[in-house]
Chains A and B, each alone.
Chain A
Amino acid sequence: MNAERIYIYKRYERFWHWSQALLIIVMMVTGFEVHGSYSLLGFAKAVSIHSLAAWTLLTLWAFTIFWQFTTGEWRQYLPSLKNVAAMIRYYAFGIFRDAPHPFHKTVVQKHNPLQRLAYLALLAVISPLIWGSGLLYLFYADWPRLGLDAVLSLESVAVAHALGGYLITAFFFIHVYLTTTGHTVFAHIKAMITGWEEVAPKH
């Protein structure tokens, strides 16, 4: 294949991606310990690390949102229904026959339509669920002062947060698997490390 190299992930983007990955893994491991699924670090340590990672990720997001808007990269996340069917067909059939990828990655369009939908779901559903419940959980002591104790129960918040945790974990595994679907198994991961991705030339 006659590959073309494009600089697709900028330095900040890569820093953001990998530090976020690390933080999410840490939060999954400690989160399920706090949930009681297993015991690894001890409840107290798990809670502390989980909260610290949450605050770190929030800080990282503050910078990232700034970056998204100043660079205009936020447009990469605008959903489009165009070619979604083609993407689904590709993952269901084409990929097994070495059919050409229906989406052509470019610097201004680095997410395929299915990816955009997935990230939108992440941003619009899982994220609010997990952060909303997580912050309420974190500020449990202030509920009476804010009048929240009359309308919320610790149980409902904890259960919502656990649900968010399960969803993000499922997302995580699918995400990791899909990184292997480039033109070589490690092509996408390499791109996220170096910034450079080899893409098939346009047909």
Chain B
Amino acid sequence: MKTMMRRLLGIGLAAFWLGSGAATPPPPLPAGTRPATTADHTQFAALKGPFKSGPEVTKACLSCHNQAAHQVMKSAHWTWEKINPATGKTLGKKFAANNFCGSPLSNEPRCTSCHAGYGWTDMNYDFTKQDNVDCLACHDNTGTYKKFGTDAGHPLYADREFEPMEGPPGKKAFKAPDLTRIAQHVGRPGRANCGACHFNGGGGDAVKHGDLDSSLIKPSRELDVHMAKDGANMSCADCHTFNAHQPSGSRYAARARDPHGIDLPKDDHDRATCESCHGTAPHQAARLNNHVSKVACQTCHIPAFARGGIATKMMWDWSTAGRKDADGKPLFIKDEHGHLKYSAAKGDFKYAENVRPEYKWYNGVVHQITITDKIDDTRVLELNRVEGSASDPRARIWPFKVMHGKQPYDTVNKTLVVNHVFGNDDTALWKNYDYAKSIQAGMDYAGLPYSGKFGFIETRMNWFTTHMVAPKEKAVACQECHTRAGDGRLAAIRDIYVPGRDSNDWVDRLGTLAIIGAIGTGLVHGTVRLITRRREKQS
């Protein structure tokens, strides 16, 4: 009783002390909100404007953030170069081959509309000029900043009318964004900032990745448990943490496993793996945790990609490009869903939604083909073979979107080629529809050897499926892998014993025989008993 009195007295005193105007700690933030900033950018003199160009804004930004451009210039967002740590090969958009648009070389003004900079129009671009860093692409918080598709990374500075190549005929009006207002409303990058480029990889919404498209701006919980408002309500950079403008997360080779597990504030501030938050034994059931050594999180937790209602491109056949209608006009044909299925500029396409990934062993090493590599044209060319097997302790089973392609290559030198597609000149493919000219121009521009003879090679490309994580109740069910059915999810992975799928034929045969024998013996013995007893009774 005495202690209770004392306790009550203590609480009363504490309340008095708090009420008497002493500093109270701020209440914790409600879940899903972000810490408030300490600066109001509308009040900075440097941002008063008016700004007439992107580089002018950048100059203003750098007048305070004096390290920002130097940091950005080291990042892949700026250099478009990356050394593959496993193979030592220099990769990046300038070198690595893909089976979408091909090479940015000779097509810069179009491709660099997704460069984190301004004015990369050709190979002589000055990568050291700070003012050319585009701050707004990532930091615009108004949602109105937009890099124009053909202006080498610049937004429009005046309203423009423009007829998109594959769109409906007729000019469309495009408005120039208000740079001054945007410069005064900057902050942390949101989903739309990253998505402006990453959702539109390959030339349009959802085209390239399959697990990244504009449905992730306002996803349902079922589509993305991390980004949904009624889920964790996180944005891209919450996982792809940035350190001095260096993004974390995979480029050409995702981390096959993250043995470090949960990242605390004292750790490396790199949270781009599931394990960074969920640890290395994330399930309550030990049986599920048993899978972690062989199966990547994504394999079970992303049952399908392109789940947000936007189809992703599954096949791109460049070999059929160039067809024209009776009037000699290039053909553009849409399918019943409104997707372009044929483009005179690009060839044939196939799209799909809700696609079950393909599964492969992956140990962290990707063998990425570059445009200068010698290739074997006697079979389908895998542009980025992922390494791994059941016996490799670093490898786990990962899900992939496998993109099918058919693309031009040099049939004599056995290399892929740089194809000059974009430009208002007499060689660009999208203007002249002539591969002989466009490839020659592309290879000349890149300074690469070209025999003058080209053909088309079938290619495959593996895209890591790692976004669009479903809530746990929508994870892949056990029997989708643990099944003898020929269409089981792991049907293609034969070098590991999967309970419920695999068995020993001899044990099955002999065991079945033993059971049938046991039942048969009983039946026969019992029948004979029945007959003989009856006879005995009759006699």
Contact = CB atoms under 8 A, between A and B. Distances in A.
A36 B501 contact: yes
Q: What DSSP secondary structure best describes chain B's contact surface? A: helix
B502 A34 contact: no
Contact of A35 (B286, B503, B526): B503
B175 interface: no
Interface residues of B, number: 38
B477 A176 contact: no
A162 B514 contact: no
B65 interface: no
Interface stretch (A3-11, A56-64, A91-99, A190-198): A91-99
B519 to A, nearest CB: 5
Range of interface residues on chain A?
A: 35 or more
B507 A36 contact: no
A80 interface: no
B50 interface: no
B479 A43 contact: yes
A166 interface: yes
Contacts of A44: 477-479
Interface string A26-40: 000000011110010
Contact of B526 (A140, A153, A177): A177
Given A47-B287, A177-B522, A162 B507 contact: yes
Contacts of B519: 173
A95 B142 CA distance: 94
Contact of A166 (B507, B521, B525): B507
B485 to A, nearest CB: 9
B87 interface: no
Interface in B502-536: 502-504, 507-508, 510-512, 514-515, 517-519, 521-522, 525-526, 528-529, 532-533, 536
Given A36-B482, A155-B502, A98 B533 contact: yes
A189 interface: no
Given A36-B482, A36-B484, A158 B499 contact: yes
A170 interface: yes
B319 interface: no
Contacts of A51: 287
B529 A167 contact: no
Given A96-B528, A155-B502, A173-B518, A166 B512 contact: yes
B94 to A, nearest CB: 43
B500 interface: yes
A16 interface: no
A29 to B, nearest CB: 13
B368 to A, nearest CB: 32
B483 interface: yes
Q: Which one of B478, B512, B526 has the highest number of Cβ atoms from chain A below 10 Å of its Cβ?
A: B478
Interface string A140-152: 1100100000000
Contacts of B512: 166
B289 A141 contact: yes
Interface of B: 286-287, 289-290, 293, 477-479, 482-484, 496-497, 499-504, 507-508, 510-512, 514-515, 517-519, 521-522, 525-526, 528-529, 532-533, 536
Given A43-B478, A171-B518, 11 more contacts: A36-B499, A39-B483, A47-B478, A97-B536, A98-B533, A155-B497, A159-B503, A163-B511, A169-B514, A169-B515, A173-B519
